[in-house]
Structure formats: C-alpha cells, structure tokens
Amino acid sequence: MTSNKPVRIIGVPMDLGASRRGTDMGPSALRIAGLGRALRGLGYQVETEQDIPVPAMETRSAASADARFKEEILTVCSDLCDRVRETLDQNDIPLVIGGDHSIAMGTVSGVAGHFRQKEQKIGLIWFDAHGDMNIPGVSPSGNIHGMPLAHLLGRGDEDLASIGGFKGKIDPKNVALVGIRDIDDGERKIIRESGIHAYTMREIDERGMAAVSREIIEVVNDGTAGFHISFDVDGCDPSVIPGSGTLVPGGINFREAHLMLEHCADSGRMVSMEVVELNPFLDHGNVSAERTLQLIMSAFGKSIL
C-alpha cells in the first residue's frame, strides 16, 4: 500500500444487525472527527465520499427471530459488495465506515471478489472482542452482527454466505481473529472446527502484542495478494473506546492496538479496511471517534517519527 493511491471512504449507516441502536451514526462521528482531513494530511488523495442507502429499523419489523432483518441486511451488503469491488477495480483503497459488524459480509465479499477475478485470494484480520461466528439457529439473539465471519467462511444461511455470487470468501488458514474474550457456547465449537487462527486476550497477555502482531502478518500474507482489516472498536478495552454497544472489559489497550496496526502498515500489504460498531450515543464527547481516527491513521502509515 502506498500513499499515492486514492482512498474512497464509504459510509454504511446501519444498525439493523445489533440490539442496541446508534451504530448508524458511526460514520458521521468519524467524519466529524476529521477522517478525510487526516488522510489528506498523510498524503492520500481522498475521493468523493459515498454512502450506501440503509432502511430505517423503525419502518419495518424483523421477519425471522433466527436472523433478524436478514433481507434488509442482505440488500445493503450486496450493494456494498458491488461498491467495494468497483472501488478496487478503479485502483482506489476502500475505507468502509459503519455501522454494525454485519456490513463486513458486504465489504469482504467485494474485496475477495475483486481478487478472485485475478485468481488471487486475500487474508483477513478480524479485530474483535467477539467471535462473530454464530449462525442462524445457534445464535442466542438472532442478531446478524454476531454472524458475519461464519458466513464469510461459507457457513450458515445460504443467501448471506453467497453475497457476491460465491461462497467461502477467505481460506480459514489466512484468517486471524484478534482480541476475543466473549464467546457464546455454540460458536466456540464452530471457531475450533473452522481452522482459523484465533488470538484470545490470554494469548496476547502471555506473548505480548508485538509477537502476536508479527505472527498475524505472516498468517494473512501466506499465499495472498494482501489483507483486509475488519476493525470492531469493541476489540479495544472500554477505557479506550467507551462508545460501543457491546463493551467487554479486559480488552486491547490503546498502544497495543496502535502497534498491531503499525505492523499492518509496515507490511505494505493492506488492501482495504473497515471500522465498525462505533456508537456515538454511548460515547463521551466523541472521544471514541477521535481515538478510532488515530488508530485508522496508524493503519494507513502514520508513524511517531
């Protein structure tokens, strides 16, 4: 990744996949914090920002308790998939800002589809407090923001798993799930059977983020054209990012998150990024958006010296 490549910021103001309202305002919070201006300060050309249309939750009801608002989320993710793929086809870097984590089914499908056309595959860094490996019928809540990674691996609902026209967007051996500390009983078995690389908070505590980050970079670059970062802000400790609806204490601290993203930038192999689950209604004076912005800058190459 080089700074002479244009960046396309794509907003997806959706909270249909979650129980708590407010992530639909995440894109606005990041824009108010100065996302476009900060990227330009790093030397990037920022193309005209775009938004994916999202229906309001108030105007509809969930048709299924096992996969709430599936049809609406499927439509949004299909549109996002097409937009991300077009962005990469134009040699721009997609930076997708959400929105709840269900949008990742659209983002990653678009990235994987672009490289699949070139007979290449991608790696995936999934930064999250949760596994996001539930599937309909196993998920205790039916909230789709807890299911996107499973569907990207080809499991679960046939429609959600087939966004972009194909299943199995990423090889499990090229997936690094980082920062997990809150896993549902049903998805624990799915994670263990999946073949992905999972880095729990215990492992990060014992080995240190520097060692884990170096290994993550190896995992996602093994035989791939590069990697996508799907960054859920709740992967960070709530003391760092209080503005999220799915907080879990005992998470990754500010410097650890910076270090991992600095390693990503140093590799020069990040092809796209998304940031999800930022909820300004639960924030304190937009501090979460401002800190998230600084983390994004590390991923795009900002360094201390």
Give catalytic residues, as residue numbers: 101, 128, 130, 132, 145, 232, 234, 277
Cβ partners under 8 Å of residue 144, min gap 6: 16, 17, 67, 68, 69, 70, 73, 102, 160
- Which DSSP string do the residues of 204-265 spell out, in sequence order? HHHH-HHHHHHHHHHHHHTTSS-EEEEEEGGGB-TTT----SS--SS-B-HHHHHHHHHHHH
How far, in Å, CA of 232 to CA of 244, rounded? 9
Residues 90, 159: contact at Cβ < 8 Å? no
Report the alpha-carbon distance of residue 20 to residue 15 in Å, rounded.
8
**Distance in angstroms (rounded) separating the CA atoms of residues 62 and 71:** 9
Dihedral angle sign, alpha carbons of residues 37, 42, 43, 47: negative
Quick one: which of 138, 151, 209 has its CA closest to 178? 209
